Amino acid sequence: MPGLVDNCDAGFVMSMPHMTAPADGATQASAHRVRVAVETPQHAGMADVLDYLAEAELPPGTLLRVPLGRRELPGVVWPGEPSAEEAANALPAGQLRPVREALLALAPLPPAWCQLVEFTARYYQRAIGEVALAVLPPELRKLDNTGLAKRLKRLHKQMGLPDPDAKPKKRRKADLQPEPEAVPEVPASPPVRPALTTEQAEVLARLSPQFEAEAPACHLLFGVTGSGKTEVYLRAAEQALAAGRQALVLVPEINLTPQLEARFAERFPGRRLVSLHSGLTPAQRLQNWLSAHEGHAELVLGTRLAIFCPLPRLGLIVVDEEHDPSYKQQDGARYSARDLAVYRGKLERAPVLLGSATPSLETWQHARSGRYQLLTMAQRVGQGALPAVRVVDMAKQPTPGQGQEAPALCPPVLAAVRDRIERGEQSLLFLNRRGFAPVLNCGACGWKSGCPHCSAWRVFHKLDRTLRCHHCGFAERVPKACPDCGNLDIQPVGRGTERLEEQIATLLQDVERPGGGSVRVARIDADTTRHKGSLEEQLAAVHAGEVDVLVGTQMITKGHDFRRVTLVAAVNPDSALFAADFRAAERLFASLLQAGGRAGRDAEAAARSEMWVQTWNPQHALFAALKAHDFTAFAASQLAEREMAGLPPYSHLALLRTEAREGPVAEAFLQQARDAAQAWLKTHGGADVMLYAPVPPPVAKVAGLERRQMLIESPSRGALQRLLANWLPELHVLRSSLKGIARWAVDVDPLSI
């Protein structure tokens, strides 16, 4: 969805009555009316910016504690004047409730932050108060002024900053004596900066003028894996810091944060660097947020929520692996951090750098059209070659005997792995499915390990002998016999990373490492990295050469610099090739190209590095493009198909999702919502907006709730937004009139349909 910034002034805020709570008996004569953004209940039909009375005039962005009903909630003084409708519905000052407390210990949130939040709420069809409060640290929302002042004092002490509230000490007689001559400090050696490649130097030369430009552009850094994109990020951040500005660097997942943080800390010793992600404790997250908000932190690294971190001197935004779907929030306000980064860069006049070896097709189209500046790095650092891609036709491989399971690796791939072990090199096996097996099956009666709460199978995890649903989390012990017929012989069907790890260890048990000893197989996935520090420990073992074969999911296929890996094998990519989502091929190509990019990152071993792909569909055009490492050709073919089908980036989508205890109830809600939308379009003219019939998603039931969805499509972003803004108030009314609806939500620019 890059390009949404073109509509930032279109005025899509939905109109709702301006309601406030009754007064608490405060003195009205000297009070000031303030507009406050609070998180109001959706079903109440209240505006999310309410009027309160304050004893003094408060600047916009000030944090408050305000009453709402019987509760006391956090709020933010919101900028701007009320609309004509709000002014007409406003209550007189005598009926307004007073602000309980203003958190004056903290500097007000900057105007640019308020604009970013308001745009997010407007575009993604959420309430301003909901977005504004949700993106603040949870710990901050609980504090009063006294507690906040203590946190700030503690922060200043940890950073060695003077306490602004401290009284000056009286000078004693001893203090008047001349101080001994200071011993000059030995300057620390400057950090080592690798020499730039020709392509890196050219990219930075094009970026440099952007730090002085009145309206900096958004750039797509399209660089093959191993081309040195991180070094470009470091040099760009260096330029921002030299200009006295702050740099914000976004990564798609928490597991990429520590290693990138280490790179930045090594390059910028003495600079204040903080991280923001959900892996931090509430206290750590608040401290890092305060450090950034007050301007003390010069470098901020984080996942998608960090896009809302207030930075008073923002000078650069980097979005690493910009194509990654993790940048899209999947609950609440379903925003895209990548797209908001583009908007924020334009808003705060900071250059934006989107980096990827496999850009999203929306971003790629914007770069082709000239909306974004395209920066290309087509060569690996050290002139290393990309791994040779070999596609194996599984239909031509030996078939197992009756009752036997096919081996995890076909003979050519297994031979390649053995060869790497004998040379003291590492192999990486990529299978994007965790657990031991996707399902348990009874051959006698056909029973399968389904989830009683979801329309999905429970995955067999052998390590703890459980059947676990990856949708609702329901787990129980593996039955000793088939629950339906009592058959003792229930078998796992399919293969996950846990089973692949076990089978690989068996297949390689006769292989001896060069220094002696058995082959060392390790697995990295969500199950093996649950505990704090476990991921860092396992990655350190891989980097140290203590692992010969690494098995893992997509966690290990992006952002990691494995210098000893010379072989990557994709074990079963076909499961993602024919998914119902129109983005399936794009995602698979990105995953495979990123996985292959882990091999041959050491220039000396690049010539003998390989990627093997086991597939039953070798004739698919995706694999031809993969063999040539040709993203450009793949993107051109996909964009041609999208244009013919009228799919993004050539159209704009929204999904109305609903959940209910019974499927017919969910369908009735969507059908009535569709009728209401079509009636509005007929009255106001909206022939270019298409509303499809309600359908169930691929997993139609989760945690006991039936799910249904309805797609809305339009070639015009403005037409789609106008419909949504006028339609949502009717949906609130419709929701209250139907019994049995658990929840509903609108997803603008959905990543999957």
Q: What are phi and psi of 219, to 5 degrees?
A: -120, 140
Contact present, 747 and 33 (Cβ < 8 Å): no
- What is the structure's pLDDT at 697? 92
Q: Compute the average pLDDT of residues 537-546.
A: 90
Q: How far apart are CA 37 and CA 126, in angstroms?
A: 13
Tens digit of each residue's pLDDT (9 = 90 or more) over 412-456: 999 999 999 999 999 999 998 889 999 999 989 999 999 999 999
- What is the structure's pLDDT at 178? 52
Q: Give, in degrees to the nearest 5, the angle at Cα 337 between 318 and 727.
A: 155
Q: How far apart are CA 711 and CA 582, in angstroms?
A: 13
- What is the structure's pLDDT at 255? 78
Q: How far apart are CA 203 and CA 235, in angstroms?
A: 11
Residue 378's Cβ-count burial label (10 Å; 0-12, 13-18, 19+) is: exposed
- What is the structure's pLDDT at 20? 37
Q: Which of 278, 316, 311 is nearest to 294 (CA)?
A: 311
- What is the structure's pLDDT at 189? 65
Measured on CA atoms in the order 648, 653, 659, 664, is the torsion positive or negative? negative
CA 46 to chain centre: 31
- What is the structure's pLDDT at 251? 94
The response to whether 451 counts as a known ligand-binding position is yes
Contact present, 53 and 98 (Cβ < 8 Å): yes
Q: Compute the average pLDDT of residues 370-396.
A: 91
- What is the structure's pLDDT at 404? 72
Residue 200's Cβ-count burial label (10 Å; 0-12, 13-18, 19+) is: buried
Q: How far apart are CA 502 and CA 420, in angstroms?
A: 19
The 3-state secondary structure of 13-30 reads CCCCCCCCCCCCCCCCCC
The response to whether 410 counts as a known ligand-binding position is no
Order the strands of the 459-461 sheet from edge to edge: 459-461, 466-468, 475-477
What's the whole-number average pLDDT of the chain?
A: 88
CA distance readout (Å), 711 to 7, 190, 205, 664: 21, 56, 44, 18
The response to whether 8 counts as a known ligand-binding position is no
Q: How far apart are CA 84 and CA 80, in angstroms?
A: 12
Contact present, 655 and 746 (Cβ < 8 Å): yes
10: pLDDT strictly greater than 70: no
Tokens for 235? 């040099």
DSSP three-state, residue 704: coil
- What is the structure's pLDDT at 516? 83
Tokens for 145? 């002024």
Q: How far apart are CA 727 and CA 720, in angstroms?
A: 10
Q: Which of 373, 88, 333 is nearest to 208 (CA)?
A: 373
Tens digit of each residue's pLDDT (9 = 90 or more) over 710-730: 999 999 999 999 999 999 989
- What is the structure's pLDDT at 732? 86
- What is the structure's pLDDT at 5? 43
CB atoms within 10 A of CB 537: 10
Contact present, 737 and 566 (Cβ < 8 Å): no
Tens digit of each residue's pLDDT (9 = 90 or more) over 667-688: 999 999 999 999 999 998 877 8
CB atoms within 10 A of CB 104: 16
Check residue 65 and report its DSSP letter: E
Contact present, 18 and 89 (Cβ < 8 Å): yes
Q: What are phi and psi of 490, to 5 degrees?
A: -100, 135
Q: How far apart are CA 240 and CA 350, in angstroms?
A: 9
Q: How far apart are CA 271 and CA 248, in angstroms?
A: 14
Q: How far apart are CA 227 and CA 358, in angstroms?
A: 13
- The answer, yes or no, to whether the previous bond of 649 is cis (omega within 30 of 0) is yes
State the pairing for strand pair 426-430/549-552: parallel
DSSP three-state, residue 529: coil
Q: Compute the average pLDDT of residues 306-313.
A: 97
- What is the structure's pLDDT at 398? 86
Contact present, 372 and 217 (Cβ < 8 Å): yes
Tens digit of each residue's pLDDT (9 = 90 or more) over 166-188: 555 555 554 445 545 544 444 55
* Res. 350 pLDDT band, cuts 50 70 90: very high
- What is the structure's pLDDT at 42? 64
38: pLDDT strictly greater than 50: yes
Q: How far apart are CA 248 and CA 312, in angstroms?
A: 12
Asked which of 257-271, 622-636, 663-677 is least confident by mean pLDDT, the reply is: 257-271
Share of residues in the chain with pLDDT > 70 (%): 91
For the chain, which domains are there?
4-136 (3.40.1440.60), 198-382 (3.40.50.300), 388-398+407-434+496-642 (3.40.50.300), 652-748 (3.30.70.360)
Tens digit of each residue's pLDDT (9 = 90 or more) over 61-101: 999 999 998 899 999 999 988 777 677 677 787 788 999 99
Q: Give the DSSP H or E segment for 149.
A: helix 145-158
The response to whether 218 counts as a known ligand-binding position is no
**pTM of the full structure:** 0.89
1: pLDDT strictly greater than 60: no
The response to whether 309 counts as a known ligand-binding position is no
- What is the structure's pLDDT at 737? 83
The response to whether 472 counts as a known ligand-binding position is yes
